[in-house]
Each structure stands twice: as C-alpha cells, then as structure tokens.
Amino acid sequence: MAGNPRFLSEDDVQELTDYKMHMKQANVLRKHGIFFITRRDGSLKVMWAHVEAAGNNNPPAKEHFDDEEGFNWEAA
C-alpha cells in the first residue's frame, strides 16, 4: 500500500535529517522548527507542508540551531 503523499516516508525523514535513529531525527526537526508526531514504534510522522514552511523561511522554533546538525534541503 502506498503511503499518504501529504507525509514524508521514513526514507524521506532519514534523508532530510541525515540520521537513521528516530531520536536524532527528532532533534534535527525540532531545531529547525518542524512539527512532527512520534508514533508508538518511535518513528516520526512529518507533513510535507511543515517541511516546506520551514524551507520558506517561516519563523523556526525559538531555539537556536547550528548547521552541524545538518539539514538536507536537497531532499525536500
């Protein structure tokens, strides 16, 4: 069954954050002000609209972030 096109696949989240571990993925998304939901299995549910909003320079989370936590905008 195909995934919902409104949500990133697990592969998309991994490519976007550059991490396989869900906790590290969550840290990167949080630092970039991207809303997500943690599922029961620990995986993250992320809407494309939230990624696009962050990419359009909408205000990020109040927390400071640095580029060492990398964000792969090529994946978006």
Q: Whole-number mean pLDDT of the chain?
A: 81
Q: How far is CA 47 from CA 18, 66, 68, 73, in A?
A: 17, 23, 24, 15
In percent, how much of the chain has pLDDT > 70?
71
Indicate if the pLDDT at residue 70 is higher than 50. yes
Q: What is the residue type of 12?
A: D
Determine the average pLDDT of the residues in 49-55.
Answer: 88
pLDDT value of residue 2: 58
The label of the residue with tokens 């620990």 reads: 42
Is residue 21 within 8 A of residue 50, CB to CB? The reply is: no
Residue 56 pLDDT grade (very low, low, confident, very high; cuts 50, 70, 90):
confident
pTM to 2 decimal places: 0.70
DSSP 8-state code for residue 32:
T
